[in-house]
Amino acid sequence: MRALSVELADRSYPVLVGPGVRHEASRFLPRRARLVAVVSQQAVADAGWLDDLDLGAPTVVCLIGDGEEAKTLATVEGLARRWAQAGLSRADAVVAVGGGIVTDVAGFAAATYHRGTGYVNVATSLLAQVDAAIGGKTGVNLPEGKNLVGAFWQPAAVLCDTETLSSLPARQWACGRGEIAKYAFLGDAPTADQPIDEQVARCVAIKAAVVSEDEREGGRRMILNYGHTLAHALEGAAMAGHHDWDLRHGEAVAIGLVFAAHLARRLGRIDQRRVEEHRRIIGSFDLPTELPAGAEALELVAFMGRDKKAQQDLTFVLDGPGGVEPVRGVDPDDVVATLADMGART
């Protein structure tokens, strides 16, 4: 087992990485808790990962739907009502057992229930273990875009149980690898040939260091969104009507990383060699690098304008001479031209 930490003064918390660490969850629940709400999904329950989870208190299990369609305010309302009916108090706790959808939704519900109820993340997917479960960013989608409603609400602990990855479908592995590929440009990142525990731990260490420095994404933490501006636009467009794209989050991030490299090249921030390095690293994780068929540049730019990093402009996280950093006020014409170079319709 590897033990890391997100350092946030009196709100610091551990991140444990290794097989079976889900069984440590009871250590991080409030001593006064008399009831625990477990939020998960049917696939996690079917895999047996809830069966031997001893939380030291009675539990109420709440299963939510699959996919981005479940990341809604309606799902949060359903959880809150279930908790109220069960008698969950502010002194009790929420335990999220699942991937990024579960930790995002359960964390936001916990942040708002009784104006803040403690929670623990048991991350069972690669995406959640290397990214989504860590850092306290919780939230849900709107029809207008991804993650537009949410809160910063730090967990009491994050348990990255690599044993649970044994039941992960192939597409969910790809989803996690998209985030791992992102870290290749942010620090001492893992490579595709390393043991999975080492890959997860290295990603956790990078994210924990950034979050500890900038909890609420006022500056440096924005680099963790490398590749995500286009990724979220692709996901938003898919939810709005391009259902045939069938993109997972990590796959969209991979495409977003390639786009960000091409945009940085157009703006003179990096050279073609660095663009090809992006393609090589992303390819090593067996991830897509091309826009989905039928992508329209102006539609994607409209979704990008709603990105949470934007401040009445187009903001991207881009590579450059000083490394990856936020770049504000990017000319929409450069964005459209870059998308067109990648095959988008104009």
The DSSP code for 36 is: E
**C-beta separation of 309 from 326 below 8 A:** yes
Q: Which of 188, 204, 68 is nearest to 139 (CA)?
A: 68
User: What string of H, E and C letters represents the secondary structure of 113-182?
Assistant: HHHCCCEEEEECCHHHHHHHCCCCEEEEEECCEEEEEEEECCCCCEEEEHHHHHHCCHHHHHHHHHHHHH
Question: What are the residues facing 151 on neighbouring strands?
Answer: 138
DSSP calls for 307-345? -TT-SSS--EEE--TT-SEEE----HHHHHHHHHHTT-B
**By CB neighbour count within 10 A (0-12 exposed, 13-18 middle, 19+ buried), where does 149 fall?**
middle
Count the neighbouring beta carbons within 10 Å of the beta carbon of residue 46. Answer: 10
Q: For residues 322 and 230, give the distance between their C-alpha atoms in angstroms, rounded to a whole number.
A: 22
CA torsion through residues 232, 289, 248, 137, sign: negative
- Known catalytic residues are 115, 137, 179, 207, 217, 221, 225, 228, 232, 249
Q: How do strand 145-152 and strand 36-41 relate by DSSP bridges?
A: unpaired
